[in-house]
Amino acid sequence: MDFDLSKAQKLLQESARTFLMRECPAERVRELMETETAYDEQLWRAMAEQGWTGLIIPEEYGGLGLGLVELAVVAEEMGRACLPSPFISTVWATALIDSAGSEGQKAQYLEKISAGEMKATVALLESTADWNVQAVQLSAQREGKEYRLSGRKEFVTDAQIADLIICVARSGSELVLLPIQRDAQGMTITATPGIDATRKLYAVDFDGVRVPVAEALQLHPQTEEAFEQATRVATATLCAEMLGGMQWTLETTVEYAKTRQQFGRPIGTYQAVQHQCADMLLMTESARSAVYYAAWTVSEETKEARQAVSIAKAYCSDAAREVGNRGIQLHGGIGFTWEHNLHLYYKRAKGSEIMFGDANYHREQLARLVVDESEG
């Protein structure tokens, strides 16, 4: 057992950090978030060249075939840079295609994703705002060799720039995963601006959108389990990104506490400030343990994966927010300005807290695993 990054993993971390510092400094984040989609085609291509878009895609489909720990390493650096990109959305879709798609579908989509030629996202939530896949009601009416999709999806990340939207729908009582190209007839995408301007949210309306039955990602009868596995991959990746944001906030705040003077000495001399910095460290390091453990268990598909992901998401959801709270507090007025970069991370933390279910949701998922007798 070795619970520390390997040499190769540390190298990956370093190169990701250098790349993002160069390609996506804070000024670029600010420019991008003011645009309609917060998307930079050139940056995405460059990320693909780094191999990131195909990081977990098997080599046979043009990917690097690495595991989730490596994915987490890169995602952490993205969080540290507050990188605006459809990366998490695409990871979610990638994992879904990987776990539920046929060989043909994998070849069709994953190669393009690896090459940076396709961005994708998943449309799950409906007006019930429920992250449980069992709650999906959007109707996919079977008509001969086609499904006809009608209904509305909410909170779909990066829908506007996704080349492929995988819609989670219900045909009768059966869960179906339908990949839809962006130019599909009858699909309307509406921006629903959120607190985190670096990751855009959309409502997607389907008005009789036709999808050939053969194109559905099939894995009967385990579609639900395949969906959950893919969502675990995406959730663990998101948690790693949250961790990167916490690390940035911690370092930035500690630096400020060392330099900002009041009453004739650095504010970091005062215990009221020190103790909050110590708490930020405690939360960040604890999140790190939880995140990398989750990434590893999901990657290895161990039986602890479900609880490890819920632990990571519940912990990170609370901790990322709280680290942000303390970061703003210790900066004082300057921390509350638009000019300081803290708010970019703070808002990202809030959006991420909500994405894939907040701490309350994941604590309940965990309780089902460890409190209820059947599982205990």
Partner 1 sequence: MDLRLTPSEEQFRDELRAWLQQNVPPPWRGGVAAEEENQGYIQYLRDWQRQVYEGGWAGISWPKEYGGRGASLIEQAIYQEEMARAQAPPLLNLIGLSIIGPTIISHGTEEQKKRYLVKILSGEEIWCQGFSEPNAGSDVAALETRAVRDGDYFLVNGQKIWTSYAHIADWSFLLVRTDPNVPKHKGLTALLVDMKSPGITVRPLKQMTGEAGFNEIFFSNVRVPVANVFGQINEGWRMAIAILMNERANVGTGIYIAIKRELDALIARARQTLRLSCPASQDPVVRQKLAQAYMELEIFRLNTNRALSRMSKEGHPGPEGSILKLCYSEQQQRMQQTAMEALGAYAQLRDFDAGRWGYGYLRSRGATIAAGTSEILRNILAERVLGLPKSY
Partner 2 sequence: MDLNLTPEEQQFRDELRSWLQANVPPPWRGKTGEEESGEYLEYLRTWQRKVYEAGWAGISWPKEYGGRGARLIEQAIFQEEWARAEAPPLINVLGLQLIGPTIIAAGTEEQKKRFLPKILSAEEIWCQGFSEPNAGSDVASLQTKAVRDGDYFIINGQKIWTSLAQVADWILLLVRTDPDAPKHKGITALLVDMHSPGITVRPLRQMTGEAGFNEVFFSNVRVPVSHVLGEINKGWQTAITTLMNERANLGAGNYILFKRNLDALIARSREITRFSRKASEDPLIRQKLAQAYLELEIFRLNNMRALSRMNKDSVPGPEGSILKIYWSEMNQRMQQTAMETLGPYGQLTDLDGGRWVYSYLRSRANTIEAGTSEILRNIVAERVLGLPKSY
Which residue ranges make up the site for partner 2 (CB under 8 A)? 125, 127-132, 135, 154-155, 192-196, 201, 261-264, 267, 270-273, 321, 325, 328-329, 332-333, 335-340, 342-343, 346-347, 350-351, 354, 358, 360-361
HSE toward the beta carbon, residue 180, CA cutoff 13 A: 35
Q: Which does 286 bind (CB under 5 to 8 A by kind): partner 2, partner 1, none?
A: partner 1
Q: Which does 262 bind (CB under 5 to 8 A by kind): partner 1, partner 2, none?
A: partner 2
State both tokens at 357.
């279910």
Q: Least distance from C-beta 240 to partner 1, angstroms?
A: 12
Nearest to partner 1 of 114, 310 (CB atom): 310
Q: Which does 325 bind (CB under 5 to 8 A by kind): partner 1, partner 2, none?
A: partner 2
Using a 10 angstrom Cβ sphere, with 0-12 exposed, 13-18 middle and 19 or more buried, the burial of residue 286 is middle
Q: Which residues contact 208 (CB under 8 A, 6 or more apart)?
A: 148, 149, 150, 186
Q: Which does 241 bind (CB under 5 to 8 A by kind): partner 2, partner 1, none?
A: none
DSSP states of 107-127 as a string?
A: HHHHHHHHTT---EEEE---T
Q: Which residues contact 374 (CB under 8 A, 6 or more apart)?
A: none
- Would you say 238 and 295 are in contact if contact means Cβ atoms under 8 Å apart? no
Q: Which residues contact 247 (CB under 8 A, 6 or more apart)?
A: 76, 79, 80, 284
Q: Does 12 bind partner 1 (CB under 8 A)?
A: no
The answer to whether the Cα torsion of 17, 19, 25, 29 is positive or negative is negative
Nearest to partner 2 of 3, 338 (CB atom): 338
Nearest to partner 1 of 118, 312 (CB atom): 312
The count of other CB atoms within 10 Å of the CB of residue 17 is 17
Judged by CB under 8 A, the chain residues 302 through 321 that form the site for partner 1 are 307, 310-311, 314-315
Q: How many Å apart are CA 333 and CA 18, to the nearest integer? A: 31
HSE toward the beta carbon, residue 373, CA cutoff 13 A: 0
Judged by CB under 8 A, the chain residues 232 through 291 that form the site for partner 1 are 254, 257-258, 265-266, 268-271, 273-275, 277-279, 281-282, 285-286, 288-290
Q: Least distance from C-beta 269 to partner 2, angstroms?
A: 8
Instruction: Enumerate binding residues for partner 1 (CB under 8 A).
Output: 1-6, 9, 69, 254, 257-258, 265-266, 268-271, 273-275, 277-279, 281-282, 285-286, 288-290, 292-293, 296-297, 300, 307, 310-311, 314-315, 360, 363-364, 366-367, 370-373, 376
